[in-house]
Amino acid sequence: MSSEQGPGPESRLGYLMKHAQMRHRELNDAALSPLGIDGRELRVLLAVAQGEPHSQQEVAARLSIDRTTMVAMLDTLEAKGIVIRSPDADDRRRNVVAMTDDGAKLLAKALRANDEVERAFLEPLDTQTAAAFRRALDVLGAPDAPVT
């Protein structure tokens, strides 16, 4: 390939973001593995823990996960004794998802592990750059981020 065709893929934003995310996932999976969960399961637990109880559909919508995938993930978490589903008292057609006591304890451990992963991942950056990186990701990842 000639240099006239421009820089290689490793200079493109999509490539850089993908590889940074892959590195973060590897670190996170290694830290969470001893706890018996992965990063996707941690995200579900975080969504369930905020403002309990939520319906399965609400958790799925919040995480942009399709309903079938959410049911499978909740089946797994329920089998592990981390969450429990029960019919909503006001609408028995809805299943409400709640954290078990064991799930709450696991979530606390998982958050400590995840915090350490984030510190390690951002360690090459100085404090101001790491904070700016987080702010930039927050802005760029917002569903209403402007695209011009």
Q: How much is the pTM?
A: 0.81
Q: What is the pLDDT of residues 78-109, one digit of tens each?
A: 999 999 999 888 887 888 999 999 999 999 99
Domain ranges of the chain: 37-111
pLDDT of 28 reads 96
Rounded to 5 degrees, φ, ψ at 51 are 65, 40
Strand partners, 54: 97
Average pLDDT, the chain: 90
Question: Which long-range contacts link 130-136 to residues 24+ away (Cβ below 8 Å)?
Answer: none
Choices 1.10.10.10, 3.30.300.30, 3.40.1190.20, 3.30.750.200: CATH for 37-111: 1.10.10.10
On whether the CB atoms of residues 98 and 40 are closer than 8 A, the answer is no
Average pLDDT, integer, range 111-140: 95
Tens digits of per-residue pLDDT, 64-86? Answer: 999 899 999 999 999 999 999 99
Lowest mean pLDDT among 61-65, 68-72, 112-116, 139-143: 139-143
Question: In the chain, pLDDT over 70 holds for what percent of residues?
Answer: 93
Which residue is it, tokens 């403002």? 51
Side-chain-facing half-sphere of 90: CA atoms under 13 Å: 4
